[in-house]
Structure 1
Amino acid sequence: MPLVQKEFTTRPSHPPIGEPPVTVRQEGQWFSIGPKIWELALNGDPDSDEKSVLQWYEPGAVSVTDEVITHTYIEEVCFIEGGLEDVTLGQAWGQGAYAYRLPGMKHGPYRASPQGCLQFVKLVPAPSTGGS
Structure 2
Amino acid sequence: MREEHEFFPTSDIAWQPATRGVTERVLSRDPDTATLTRIARWEPGLETEGVLRHDFHEEVYLLEGDLTDLTLDQTFRAGDFASRRPGMPHGPYRTENGCVMLEIRTSS
TM-score calculated relative to the size of structure 1: 0.73
1:38 aligns with 2:23: yes
Change (3 A) 1:101 1:83: same
Name the residue aligned to 1:7: 7
1:59 aligns with 2:41: no
Provide the C-alpha distance between the structure 2 equivalents of 1:46 and 1:62, rounded to a whole number of angstroms: 29
Change (3 A) 1:97 1:125: same
Aligned pair partner of 1:96 in 66, 69, 79: 79
Higher relative contact order (CA 8 A, sep 6+): 2
Query: How far does residue 48 in structure 1 lie from its aligned partner after superposition?
Result: 4.1
Structure 1 stretches (4+) deviating beyond 3 angstroms? 45-48
1:77 aligns with 2:65: no
Larger radius of gyration: 1
Query: How far does residue 60 in structure 1 lie from its aligned partner after superposition?
Result: 1.1
Which AA in structure 2 matches 1:108? Answer: G
Name the residue aligned to 2:90: 107
Aligned pair partner of 1:119 in 101, 104, 108: 101
Instruction: Quote the sequence identity (%).
Output: 33
1:28 aligns with 2:10: no
Which AA in structure 1 matches 2:89? Answer: K
Gaps of 5+ in 1: 13-26, 127-132
Relative to its length, the structure with more strand (as a share) is 2
What RMSD over aligned residues (CA atoms) do the two structures have, in Å?
Answer: 2.1
